[in-house]
Structure 1
């Protein structure tokens, strides 16, 4: 593994803004449910690769996810521990609400 691409968890307003987009919320939901890293293509459908890349960037810069590169495989992982330490209960609450809507 070449290592993760990590940003610190941003202030609450930036985290909430990043997650407020329905596509990004679904990405976070999938990562949370999986409990592990997921290859980029497994986190979205119905949008272009460049649009997916933009959404990953927004989530990464807010410290919500990290990019993990293993050889030629790029995956994303949820920064659950850092988010839970900074904003206890935030991600589980958002994921539970998203699951209830699906």
Structure 2
């Protein structure tokens, strides 16, 4: 299972390091939350989210190397609200969720 840390801090639990905005592979989620119930609470609150392999690959995509037009197209394809996006970094932040 892949988890995504949506907080601004690194989370350490059971030998796992959940870095903000970077997918982390967790081999046995059920065992992890038995020992670290706070992880389950954070999943329930949305601070940590369970993501698919496809979503993890998309997040790991290196948007920094792409031009602004490509980022705009990607955001449009995903149906994201780009009304407040002005810069390349704004689009990167939107796409990374």
TM-score (norm 1): 0.25
Query: Who wins on radius of gyration, i.e. which is larger?
Result: 2
TM-score (norm 2): 0.25
**Greater helix content:** 1
